[in-house]
Chains A and B, each alone.
Chain A
Amino acid sequence: MIKKVDISVDHVTRVEGHGNIRLRASDGKVEHVEWQVPEAPRFFEAMVRGRSFEDIQTIVSRICGICSVTHSLASIKGVEDAMGIKVSGQTDKLRILCHYGEQMESHSLHVGYLVAPDLLGQNSVIPLVESHPDVIKTVIRLHRLGNTWMEIIGGRMTHPITLKPGGFTAIPSEQQLRELKKSIEDAVPDLKILADVILSLADKLPTFDRETEYIALKYPDYYTFYHGDIGSTDTDEQVPVQQFERVVNEYVSPQSTAKWCKWHRDSYAVGALARFNLNAEQLLPMAAETAKKFGLKKGACNPYLNNVAQVIECVQVAEHSLQLIDELLTKGLKPEPVKVEPKAGEGVGCVEAPRGILFHRYAFDEKGLCTKANICIPTGQNHANIQKDFEAFAPQIIDRDQDEIRLLLEMLVRAYDPCISCSTHFLNVKFV
C-alpha cells in the first residue's frame, strides 16, 4: 500500500501575513515541501518618505510591538549615520542597556511561551500554568523584568519615547538604575532555572544538522547586539553595515512571493544561534558557563538550537547590563540636551534584533526630510533558510506519523522566532 502524506497548514487573515506549510509525499518520497510566506510589508518605507528625520523613530517603532526598541535604534543610527551625528558614551551605554531589556523580554517570552509548550507536549502555554507553574512563573518574572527595564530607559514598556537621534529626551535617575541593577541581580536565579528547565528538555529538541552560513554583527570589544561590522561563518571578511546590500542580496525565487536572501550559499541564517556561532568566545563568564552546560559550541548547525542560544543570550545581556550600569553609575549620569541640525545625506543603521540582524537605510534632503527608505528585517533574511531546512529535513522524517511531521516542521519555523504578523493585532470576536 502506498502511504501518502499531505500536510497543508494554512492561515489566511485579512491583512497580516502568516506562513503556510505545505508538504506532499508519496510512498516515503517527498514530492513537494514549501514554507510559504507573503512578502514582508514594505509600506513602512513609503510611510516615512517625506517625513522629518525627527519623526522616523516614532513611526518605525510601531512596526513591531516586540522589536520596537530594535527598530527605534536602527532608525536612529541610520539618521545619525546620514547626518554625521556622534553621540556621547553615556547615550551609547543607555541605548545598549535599553536594547538588552528587549532581548531579555523577547527571548524569555519565546522560549517560555512558544518553545516550552512544544517540549512539554502541550499545544499552548495556558495548560502549563497548571502542569508546570514554577516554569511559567519564572518566565513571567523574566518577561516582567524585561518590560520594567525598557520602561526605565525607554520611557515606556513598549514603543519607546525617550530614544532620539543625538541622544535621549529623558534619562533615568541614578536611583532607577540602582533599582534596575538589583532587579537584574535578583533575576539571576530565575535565569538559572530557565536554563535548567530547557536543559532538562533538550533531548526533546529534534536532531537535525545542516551546514549553514550564519550572519551577525561582529565587534572586537564584546558580544555585540549594537556595534560592529557584518560577519559570516563562511568568510573572514567583514562588511561595513553601510554596504549591507552586498550581504543580503535580495532576490526573487519562483518558489516564494517573499524575497529571499543569500550571500555565499543559497541561503543564510540570522538570530541568536548566528550571533553565538560568530561571537561565542566573547560571552561573559555566566553566559559561557550556561553554554558549557548545554554543550553548545561554535559551529552548531541544528536550527532548533537557536532556542538554546536564546537562553544563553538572556544570561549574557543580564551580565553585560550589570557591567554597563556600574560604569554609568561610576561616571555619574548627567542630562545631555540634544540639538540636531538637519543636513542632507544617506546612512545605514544596523542592530541585532532578538531574531537577527536588522538593517535600515535612509536618505534625507537638506531640510532633514526623508527621501528614501529601505528596511531589511531578520525574518525576511531567514525565509530562504527555513525553506532549505525543510527540503533537507522533510525526507529524514517522512516515515513518521503525519501529525508528528507537521509538529516537527512547525517547531522548526518556531525555532527561528519569526516576526510575521506583528503590526496588527485587532480583536476579532463573536458574541456568545
Chain B
Amino acid sequence: MKPIIIICLGNLLMRDEGIGIRLASELSVHFADNPDVEVLDLGTGGLSVLHAIAGREKIIFVDCAIMDQTPGLMLRFSPDKVRSNKVRMRYSLHEGDLLNTLELSRRLGECPDDIVIFGIEPKEIAHVQGLTSELENNIPKYVQTILKELDRT
C-alpha cells in the first residue's frame, strides 16, 4: 500500500461534477511509476472511501464542491474547516457525503490525520458529458496546485 493517495471523486456524466475524475486521468500520468503516491478514480463510490484511506499517511481528495465561490475556483481545505449543507434522508445507500464518511472513519480509528480536500466550484451540474469552459480551461492550473501539495510532504 502506498502511503499517499490522491482520491478523485465525481461523475463524468454530470458536467462539472466530473472534474475529479478528469483530474484523476491527468494526475495518473504524473504518478504512474511513483512508489509513494497512488491516484485513485473512485467515481461515486461513496462509502468505499473508508477502505481507500485506511492505513494511509496522507490523503488528498479532489472533488467538485459547492462552496458559494466563483465557478472554476479551487480551494484547499481540511475536513474540520467545513460543515456539510447536505440533508441526508438515509433512504438509500446512494446518498454520498464525504464528510460523513470521514467522520465514520475517524470514529473507527482508521482515519489518517493528514487530509486535504481540493474542492472545485462547479459552473453547472447537469446530465451532460464534458466540463464547462470555466473548469476545462483551468485544468493545468489545478494539476500544478495539486502537484505542489505533494511538495509539502
The chain A residues found within 8 Å of chain B, CB to CB, are: 9, 11, 14-15, 18-19, 41, 43-44, 47, 59, 62-66, 68, 106, 109-110, 113-114, 117, 123-126, 129-130, 136-137, 140, 143-144, 147-148, 156-159, 410, 413-414, 417-432
Number of A-B residue pairs, CB cutoff 8 Å, is 182
B116 an interface residue at 8 Å Cβ cutoff? no
Q: A109 touching B43 by the CB < 8 A rule?
A: no
- Hey, which chain B residues are within 8 Å of A423, CB to CB? 11, 13-14, 44
- Hey, which chain A residues are within 8 Å of B68, CB to CB? 430
**Which of A11, A66, A410 has the most CB atoms of chain B within a 10 A radius of its CB?**
A66
Q: A65 touching B46 by the CB < 8 A rule?
A: yes
B87 an interface residue at 8 Å Cβ cutoff? yes
Nearest 4 A/B pairs, CB to CB: A422-B94, A425-B96, A65-B44, A43-B127
Task: Give the shortest distance, in Å, between A29 (CB) and chain B (any CB).
Answer: 27
User: In the bound complex, how far is the Cα of B17 from the Cα of A43, in angstroms?
Assistant: 15
Task: Give the shortest distance, in Å, between B74 (CB) and chain A (any CB).
Answer: 12
A and B contact pairs by CB, cutoff 8 A, 10 listed: A18-B95, A62-B11, A65-B46, A109-B93, A159-B41, A410-B91, A420-B91, A426-B65, A430-B83, A430-B85
The chain B residues found within 8 Å of chain A, CB to CB, are: 9-14, 17, 41-48, 50-52, 63-68, 77, 81-100, 103-104, 107-108, 117, 119, 122, 125-127, 129
Given A126-B107, A424-B11, 16 more pairs with CB closer than 8 A: A65-B96, A109-B47, A124-B100, A144-B51, A147-B48, A410-B91, A420-B91, A421-B94, A422-B44, A423-B11, A423-B14, A424-B14, A426-B65, A426-B122, A427-B84, A428-B84
Q: A157 touching B51 by the CB < 8 A rule?
A: yes
User: In the bound complex, how far is the Cα of B100 from the Cα of A126, in angstroms?
Assistant: 9
**Which of B42, B94, B100 has the most CB atoms of chain A within a 10 A radius of its CB?**
B94
